[in-house]
Amino acid sequence: MIATLEGVLEQRGSDSVIVNVGGIGFQVYVPSSVLNQPRTIDHKVLLHTYLHTGGDNITLYGFTSSEELDLFKSLISISGVGPRVALALLSALNAEQVAMAIASENTELISQVPGIGKRIANRIVLELKGKVDKGWTRQGLSISQEDGDVVAALTSLGWSLREATRAVSSIPGAQDLGIEEKVKLALQQLSEG
């Protein structure tokens, strides 16, 4: 099994990178957080990897931290959640946001990710709630069930899930505001940024 991959970033695709290790180019599927890092081509990268075999297909998935890899492995252990769905979830939300959504039982936020419906979101929360409570810090972005409704409103207006989550989580004094006020403030932040 390939546990880590350290080499030179050769190319970026829409959902993968090519990492050259000793003259061999490995295609590694990665979440958008890896693709959006400011690393440039021809710079060294280190990815924590998971080798998935299924049928005639062997696919390598890579993450910047072992915690993110562990969350990915936990997600794909759930019936109905394959590597592509888990990667989509970790692309739409960062690992800490996913863990916080699971810990706070925010199925609404999880079900906003393309490929994940209410049933799968409920299953993710049910099966992983106890696991993420232990392993993740509480200093990340916390999204309540009500904030999930705000995120849903923003995504229906065309903003990406990542943008909407980031905007909602940065609203000052949000616990004292109603949904309409939160949507207005989040829209202001999104239009400014």
- Per-residue pLDDT of the chain in tens (193 residues, 90 and over written 9): 789 999 999 999 999 999 999 999 999 999 988 888 776 788 999 999 999 998 889 999 999 999 899 999 999 999 999 999 999 999 998 888 888 888 888 898 899 898 899 999 999 999 998 877 665 544 444 566 677 778 777 877 877 777 887 788 788 766 678 888 888 888 888 888 6
Identify the pLDDT of residue 133: 60
Report the first-to-last Cα separation within the chain, whole angstroms: 42
CB atoms within 10 A of CB 35: 15
Identify the pLDDT of residue 30: 96
Given the candidates 1.10.150.20, 1.10.760.10, 1.20.1740.10, 3.40.30.10, the CATH classification of the domain at 66-135 is: 1.10.150.20
- Give CATH 2.40.50.140 domain extents, the chain: 4-63
Q: Are 86 and 78 in contact (CB under 8 A)?
A: no
CATH class (in words) of the domain with range 145-192: mainly alpha
Give just the sign of the alpha carbon dihedral 54, 33, 86, 191: negative
- Give CATH 1.10.150.20 domain extents, the chain: 66-135
Identify the pLDDT of residue 135: 58
CB atoms within 10 A of CB 54: 9
Identify the pLDDT of residue 143: 61
Task: Please name the fold of domain 4-63.
Answer: OB fold (Dihydrolipoamide Acetyltransferase, E2P) (2.40.50)
- Give CATH 1.10.8 domain extents, the chain: 145-192
Task: List alpha helices for 36-113, DSSP H.
Answer: 66-76, 83-92, 95-103, 107-110
